[in-house]
């Protein structure tokens, strides 16, 4: 396994900039997820590491060795694509062994590696089958097995679970996490699915508009987003954003919502307005009485362990609040809201975290 370093790498397709001066250090054995919306540059960045796209500016190191000039085959990386790309006329064993034959490994070593990967992925009973005889999840495991037998310095995954149904995606996600624990090899994983990112990653790299917006552990980017974009992109349902005016003075700053509700802030925000207050639904809860503000429920979403209440505050502001799984709230009902003031976020006029 090897660490991977990016130093000011950039990429353009004609006049269109897709990656802008990205620098990042990925440690040996780390599971890093590139997360972002479509068009943020995450797949292009992965392909630049793999050697499938050239690097216009900057440097790439793999295991401490400058590598941006090396062809893909000399970087010793294994990539798993969204499309399984299996040879339909070959068996599972032949698909997994194909790349090893191409680099001239002996048959005994090939057989050993294929058998080891098949056991690791619980595919020993599938080795004689062809892709048409496999389910989608089994085909994806073959594609992963084909990468494992190469014994690469690092694994690169490009949205490998997006073609699977929801239940199979969850199971395969668990298998990938267990695989990383067993192999201890560096893994870089591209997705737009924040659940995959939060459950798989040691660190998440949030990309937006051709650049890195934030790098951190899953809970760091969730609890301490550095920008309004990260705060709104991470979390399901998304964070509530409410326009506010700064009030109070000295060491007792407050934020006044447009419906007149006043909330204490832990410190004076830095930057310039207009200001927005952010609060996640789990920090904005329904209470029987004595709430800080009131709203009228419009949609009630019952999820079993919790209930999400979509509501309008007195001034028409839309919010999402949380109640218990046994909530009795009904659409059209007036509800009392309690704000957890220890979990407030503030964003300045540039969308930057201000607390």
In DSSP notation, 181-235 reads HHH--EEEEEES-HHHHHHH-SEEEEEETTEEEEEE-HHHHHHS-SBHHHHHHSS
Q: Which CATH superfamily is domain 4-232 in?
A: P-loop containing nucleotide triphosphate hydrolases (3.40.50.300)
Give pLDDT tens digits along the chain (355 positions).
Answer: 789 999 999 999 999 999 999 999 999 999 999 999 999 999 999 999 999 999 999 999 999 999 999 999 899 999 998 887 899 999 999 999 998 888 888 999 999 999 999 988 888 999 999 999 998 888 988 998 999 999 899 999 999 888 778 887 888 888 889 889 988 999 999 999 999 999 999 999 999 999 999 999 999 999 999 999 999 999 989 999 999 999 877 778 999 999 999 999 988 898 888 999 999 999 999 999 889 999 999 999 999 999 999 999 988 999 999 999 999 999 999 999 999 999 999 999 999 999 8
CB atoms within 10 A of CB 67: 22
**pLDDT score of 102:** 83
Q: What is the pLDDT of residue 273?
A: 84
- The DSSP 8-state label assigned to residue 352 in this structure reads B
Neighbouring residues of 117: CB distance < 8 A, sequence distance ≥ 6: 96, 123, 145, 148, 149
Tell me, what's the pLDDT at 165? 80
Name residues whose C-beta falls within 8 Å of residue 272's C-beta, 6 or more positions apart in sequence.
348, 349, 350
Backbone angles phi, psi at 320, to 5 degrees: -120, 120
pLDDT attached to residue 122: 86
The residues facing 4 across adjacent strands are 26, 62
Give the pairing of strands 16-26 and 4-13: antiparallel
Q: How far apart are CA 330 and CA 305, in angstroms?
A: 17
Structure-token pair, residue 175: 């298998």
- Dihedral pair phi/psi, residue 243, rounded to 5°: -65, 135
Q: What pLDDT is recorded for position 49?
A: 98
Q: Are strands 154-158 and 186-191 parallel, antiparallel or unpaired?
A: parallel
Nearest Cα residue to 222 out of 162, 282, 143:
282
Report domain extents, the chain.
Answer: 4-232, 244-347
pLDDT value at position 164?
A: 79
Which string of b and e fits 253-276 if b means at least 16 CB within 10 Å? bebbbeeebebebeeebeeeeebb
**What is the fold of 244-347?**
OB fold (Dihydrolipoamide Acetyltransferase, E2P) (2.40.50)
Residues 185, 29 contacting (CB under 8 angstroms): yes
Report CA-CA distances (Å) from 155 to 28, 59, 173.
11, 20, 15
pLDDT for position 85 = 83
Q: How far apart are CA 20 and CA 1, in angstroms?
A: 27
């Amino acid at each position: 396994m090897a660490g991977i370093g990016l130093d000011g790498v950039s990429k353009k397709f004609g006049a269109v900039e897709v990656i802008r001066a990205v620098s990042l250090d990925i440690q040996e054995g780390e599971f890093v997820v590139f997360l972002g919306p479509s068009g943020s540059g995450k797949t292009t960045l992965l392909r630049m590491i793999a050697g499938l796209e050239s690097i216009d500016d900057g440097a790439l190191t793999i295991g401490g060795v400058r590598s941006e000039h090396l062809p893909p085959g000399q970087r010793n990386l294994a990539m798993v694509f969204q499309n399984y790309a299996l040879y339909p006329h070959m068996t599972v064993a032949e698909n997994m062994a194909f790349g090893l034959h191409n680099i001239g490994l002996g048959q005994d070593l090939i057989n050993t590696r294929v058998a080891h990967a098949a056991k690791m992925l619980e595919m020993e009973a599938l080795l004689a089958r062809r892709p048409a005889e496999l389910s989608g999840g089994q085909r994806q495991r073959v594609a992963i097995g084909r990468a494992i037998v190469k014994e690469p310095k690092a694994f690169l995954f490009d949205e490998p679970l997006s073609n699977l149904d929801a239940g199979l995606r969850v199971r395969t996600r668990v298998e990938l996490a267990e695989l990383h624990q067993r192999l201890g090899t560096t893994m870089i994983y591209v997705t737009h699915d924040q659940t995959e990112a939060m459950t798989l990653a040691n660190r998440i790299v949030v990309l937006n508009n051709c650049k890195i917006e934030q790098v951190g552990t899953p809970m760091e980017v969730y609890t301490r987003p550095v920008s309004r974009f990260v705060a709104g992109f991470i979390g399901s349902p998304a964070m509530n954003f409410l326009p506010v005016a700064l009030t109070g003075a000295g060491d007792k700053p407050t934020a006044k919502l447009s419906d007149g509700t006043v909330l204490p802030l832990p410190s004076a925000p830095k930057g310039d307005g207009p200001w927005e207050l952010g609060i996640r639904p789990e920090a904005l809860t329904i209470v029987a009485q004595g709430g800080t503000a009131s709203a009228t429920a419009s949609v009630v979403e019952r999820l079993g362990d919790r209930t999400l209440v979509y509501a309008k505050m007195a001034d028409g502001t839309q919010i999402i609040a949380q109640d218990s799984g046994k909530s009795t709230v009904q659409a059209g009902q007036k509800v009392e809201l309690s704000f957890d003031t220890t979990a407030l976020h503030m964003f300045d006029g540039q969308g930057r975290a201000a607390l």
